[in-house]
Structure formats: structure tokens, C-alpha cells
Amino acid sequence: MEIQIGRGKTARRAYGFDEIALSPGSKTLDPSLADTNWSIGGIDREIPIIASAMDGVVDVKMAVELSKLGALGVLNLEGVQTRYEDPNPILDKIASVGKDEFVILMQGLYQEPIKPELVEKRIQEIKAQGGIVAVSATPAGAARFGLVAAKAGAQLFFIQATVVSTNHTSPEDIAPLDLAKFCQEMPIPVILGNCVTYDVTLELMKAGAAGIMVGIGPGAACTSRGVLGVGVPQATAVADCAAARDEFFKTTGTYIPIIADGGLVTGGDICKCIACGADAVMIGSPFARSVEAPGRGFHWGMATPSPILPRGTRIKVGTTGTLKQILRGPAILDDGTHNLLGALQTSMGTLGAATIKEMQQVNVVIAPSLLTEGKVYQKAQQLGMGK
């Protein structure tokens, strides 16, 4: 499987979702019989879709609404919601500046410190309205706010770094977060990410993770690959990490779900993720398009406000429907961004998969949806270019 790039270097071919498609087998199923239930940290959900912990995607209202619709939303504990008592004028400003002023504005807005009392308040607001409380922080933020959040009523704690590892070297004066110790000491399940390899997945599971987020560099609002050169195409990353999950389950009897995170836009993308072995997906931009989203039709990455090396860009995604339309339909768009649950169920029916576990086993073909001359012409016409 190793390919020679040059005399001094070999590399493995990795595949992205744009390069694969799902292939029907010998049986089919009525979509209404497709069971999409899954479970994470002891919490059962009907829909294996999690809204990303991004400022433009999840606020209190979204977290509550997503819970009620059968899904899950994760609140970013280090974003505008915990820096500002009233985030609305802040979000208005983010949506109104020009593209060139955006990064500087974000860098300025994030100089406002995170307030522990707002961490508590947001958690309590979600709880009070009947939502499942899932929150997210960086490793550094987890050290500061982990117990605060748990005490305030959080039910799931996500730790997200661009790349997480159990073997992190820090400067001498800063102690790195000990993930195993953190998982052990937290009274609530801890989900860890992001990673892309079999080995790190196994290590994180041994450290006590209740779920693993898989994906480095593939997101629409993420520019890690351009800025850092780092990124692994998702189909390969998900398949590798899913193999580690199966190995861990075989060894320990504990089943830790794999969550594909980043780069997913359509129902088809979600279906492909699960077919490569994921138990669920974490998506941002599809929800940023909802009427309810805090992003006001925009979507941006969480590495953007970095004062030193901003990564991630702001994309105008527009507002295309209600959260319910996007998640459960009925769809009024035909491009795969409405009724994501319906798409998953219909795909499972088409492929004869009755459960998420069966969907993980369906046939995949390598079938690059590469651009050809004809397609560019068509696409150009659809975009209204040319005569």
C-alpha cells in the first residue's frame, strides 16, 4: 500500500468522500424500516448527527431545538456565548463586516475574556428548556472549565483540538492536560478529538474517551491543509479509526462511537461517512443554513480568532430553511441539504441496511466525482456564467 513519492519518501494513498460512492447490493428496504438510533455516553439519540461547537452554529436555542428533534448540539464554551452576556450584537457585527475586516474583528472580539458565570448560565439555560447539555472546550479550556461545566449540569464534555494526542510535549512552565486523568476525574462522559489514525484512536479510548471525533483538515470553514499542509481525507481516516473501535470493542467489550467531523455538507456525505464506519457525524455548515442558527447566514471556523495564526475562513452559506426542514424535512431543496434524516433512511433503504451497524458494512466503490469538461460546462451554465 506504500507508494514511492521519491527515493527518500513513501506515502499511502488516502481517500476522501468526493472519491467514493455507495453501491447497492441484492436487497432493499423500505426507508421507514431503517433504524438510525445510536448512543453516546449513555445518552440515546434517534439521529446520528451532532451540530458542531461553533459560534455560528450552536447557541442555547439551537442546542435545545436539536435535542427535541432527536439530534444533539454542542455548545462552544470558549466562544462568544461565554465571553459576552448578550452575544446578539456581537453576532450582528460578525455578519455585517466585509471579508477583509473579518479576521481582525474576530481577533478583537476574542480578547474579551471567558466568564465562568456565563459558562454556568448557558448550561443552565439549555437544561431549563429541556435540552441535552453537551459542551466543548480546547484542552486548555477543559482544564479551566471542565468541573465548572459538569457541576452546572453538563451531560457530555467534548475536548477538541486540531490534533489531539496522549503524548503532547509542552513548554516547561505549562503542564499539558493529562487526558486520561481528566476523563477519570470528570463526573460526566468525555469525548475526545480530533484524530485520524488507528493508533491514536486506540490510545484515546484507553485514556477513557466516551467517543472519538475523527477528521483533520477537511472542513468547509477550515484551512488547516492550506496553512499547515496537514490533513487526511475523511474516508480513509474514518475507516482507520473505525477499525480501532472494533479492535477496542473486541478486546474490552466496550463500544466507543466514532464521530466523523468536518467537511460534510449533504445527506450523501453523511451516508458515506457511516458506510466507512462512523457511528455518527458532526456537521457545521448544514445547520448554519437554518433560520434558527446564530450565524445569520454565515459560517466560520473556530481557529479564526487566533491572534497569531488564524485558520478558517467565513463563508456566506445563506439561510435555506428551518432546523426541522434541514434535519427531518419535508425538504424544499433538492440538493441534499434538507431532510438529512430522510436522506440517511432512504439511502439505508436503497442499500438494504436496517441499522447503523449494517450501514457500516455496505459496499463502497471508488468513483471520483472529478470534474470533466462536460460537467464544468453544465456547472458554468447553472451558475449563470457565459451566454
Q: Which residues are catalytic?
A: 222, 311
Q: Please report where in the chains the cell 449563470 appears, as a residue.
A: 384
Check binding of 39 to a copy of itself (CB under 8 A).
Answer: no
Check binding of 3 to a copy of itself (CB under 8 A).
Answer: yes
Work out which of 72, 237, 260, 327 binds a copy of itself, going by CB under 8 A: 237
Residues in the chain: 387
Q: Please report where in the chains the cell 450501514 appears, as a residue.
A: 359
Burial class (CB in 10 A: 0-12, 13-18, 19+), 306: middle
By CB under 8 A, the residues from 70 to 89 that bind a copy of itself are none
Nearer to a copy of itself, 70 or 116 (CB): 70
Kindly write out the interface string for residues 204-223 of this chain, putting x where it contacts a copy of itself by CB under 8 A and - elsewhere: ------------xx--x--x
Distances in Å between the Cα of 43 and the Cα atoms of 74, 123, 150, 302 are: 14, 17, 16, 26
Q: Residue 111 Cβ, how far from a copy of itself at the closest point, in Å?
A: 12
Choose one: 12-20, 38-46, 110-118, 143-151; the region binding a copy of itself (CB under 8 A). 12-20
Work out which of 143, 147, 180, 228 binds a copy of itself, going by CB under 8 A: 228
Work out which of 73, 230, 254, 296 binds a copy of itself, going by CB under 8 A: 230
Distances in Å between the Cα of 129 and the Cα atoms of 46, 136, 246, 345 are: 19, 19, 37, 29
Phi first, then psi, for residue 151 (nearest 5°) are: -65, -35
Work out which of 37, 85, 226, 357 binds a copy of itself, going by CB under 8 A: 226
Q: Residue 257 Cβ, how far from a copy of itself at the closest point, in Å?
A: 14
Choose one: 112-120, 127-135, 150-158, 323-331; the region binding a copy of itself (CB under 8 A). 323-331
Q: Residue 348 Cβ, how far from a copy of itself at the closest point, in Å?
A: 9
Phi first, then psi, for residue 109 (nearest 5°) are: -60, -30
Check binding of 36 to a copy of itself (CB under 8 A).
Answer: no
Rg of the Cα atoms in the chain: 20
Q: Which residues contact 205 (CB under 8 A, 6 or more apart)?
A: 212, 244, 245, 248, 254, 256
Residue 322, by phi and psi: left (phi above 0), alpha (psi -120 to 50) or beta? beta
Nearer to a copy of itself, 189 or 301 (CB): 301
Distances in Å between the Cα of 140 and the Cα atoms of 146, 159, 189, 304 are: 10, 9, 18, 17
CB atoms within 10 A of CB 149: 28
Work out which of 227, 292, 319, 322 binds a copy of itself, going by CB under 8 A: 227
By CB under 8 A, the residues from 339 to 368 that bind a copy of itself are 339, 342-343, 346-347, 350-352, 354, 363-368
- Could you tell me which of 283, 245, 271, 281 has the C-alpha nearest to residue 358? 271
Work out which of 93, 115, 168, 357 binds a copy of itself, going by CB under 8 A: 168
Q: Residue 154 Cβ, how far from a copy of itself at the closest point, in Å?
A: 26
